[in-house]
């Protein structure tokens, strides 16, 4: 009887052979082994697994979300200590929550304008706006926190405030100030997403 009780107790203490997103018996990288041996990281992996599953079920661009997740996994697997792994999970969980389980990455266009957007793992968007008015051309770029389906950017030094509102395959941009774009040039308007691929940015 004592032996049976001891076996049950040992099994209770043993870590799960499976995290939410992978099989611990097949763990190969430092990050995967650390996740399987640390209950805090296992819990974060469980949470991320649930969030990603929900995001994938509701995403209109599933392949784009899968590509982002693969990129994040590659980044996580570069970690060589638990703090790095924990931060990677915290950033990805925040990104999935902050994005309202949506994917906004892509290139959006309208007549006389283009917006490139890259959703990042830390809950922000990186953007580039290009607009024209007759012979005048203006550009503005930056990063802004993403909350649900909206992001707001402000640069007081350049008299610029931009509001981004994502709605499926459409993006509505509102602009307050010149944003250094030139005479009568504005990035405001309704854009249509032409590509969900990660855009290129001029560094």
User: How do residues 59-91 score in pLDDT, each as one tens digit?
Assistant: 667 788 888 888 899 999 999 999 999 999 998
State the pLDDT confidence band at 15, using cuts at 50, 70 and 90.
very low
Least confident segment among 4-8, 105-109, 174-178, 183-187: 4-8
The pTM (predicted TM-score) of the whole model is 0.53
Q: DSSP code of 23?
A: B
C-alpha span between 29 and 25 (Å, rounded): 12
pLDDT, position 14? 42
| Helix or strand holding residue 93 (H, E) | helix 82-98
Provide mean pLDDT across the span 123-132: 92
Phi–psi pair at 7, nearest 5 degrees: -65, -40
- Whether pLDDT at 96 is above 60: yes
- Whether pLDDT at 103 is above 90: no
C-alpha span between 177 and 18 (Å, rounded): 53
C-alpha span between 52 and 50 (Å, rounded): 6
CB 2 within 8 A of CB 10: no
Q: Locate 162 and state its tokens.
A: 């931009």
Cα 166 to chain centroid distance, Å, stands at 14
Q: Please, what is the average pLDDT of the chain?
A: 84
Q: Locate 166 and state its tokens.
A: 């994502």
Provide mean pLDDT across the span 4-24: 51
Least confident segment among 3-17, 45-59, 76-90, 157-171: 3-17
Cα 202 to chain centroid distance, Å, stands at 20
Residue 103 to residues 47, 60, 71, 79, 140: CA-CA distances in angstroms? 19, 8, 14, 25, 22
């Amino acid at each position: 009887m004592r032996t049976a009780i001891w076996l049950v107790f040992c099994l209770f203490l043993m870590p799960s052979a499976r995290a939410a997103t992978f099989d611990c018996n097949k763990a190969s990288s430092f990050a995967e082994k650390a996740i399987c041996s640390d209950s805090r990281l296992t819990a974060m992996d469980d949470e991320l697994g649930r969030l990603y599953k929900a995001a994938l079920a509701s995403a209109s661009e599933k392949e784009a979300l899968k590509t982002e997740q693969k990129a994040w996994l590659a980044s996580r697997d570069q970690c060589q200590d638990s703090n790095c792994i924990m931060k990677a999970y915290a950033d990805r969980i925040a990104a999935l929550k902050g994005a309202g389980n949506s994917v906004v990455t892509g290139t959006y266009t309208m007549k006389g304008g283009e917006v490139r957007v890259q959703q990042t793992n830390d809950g922000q968007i990186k953007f580039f706006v290009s607009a024209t008015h007759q012979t005048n051309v203006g550009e503005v770029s930056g990063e802004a926190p993403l909350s649900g389906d909206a992001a707001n950017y402000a640069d007081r030094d350049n008299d610029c405030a931009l509001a981004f509102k994502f709605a499926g395959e459409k993006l509505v941009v509102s602009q307050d100030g010149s944003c250094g774009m030139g005479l009568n040039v504005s990035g405001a308007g309704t854009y249509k997403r032409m590509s969900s691929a990660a855009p290129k940015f001029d560094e």
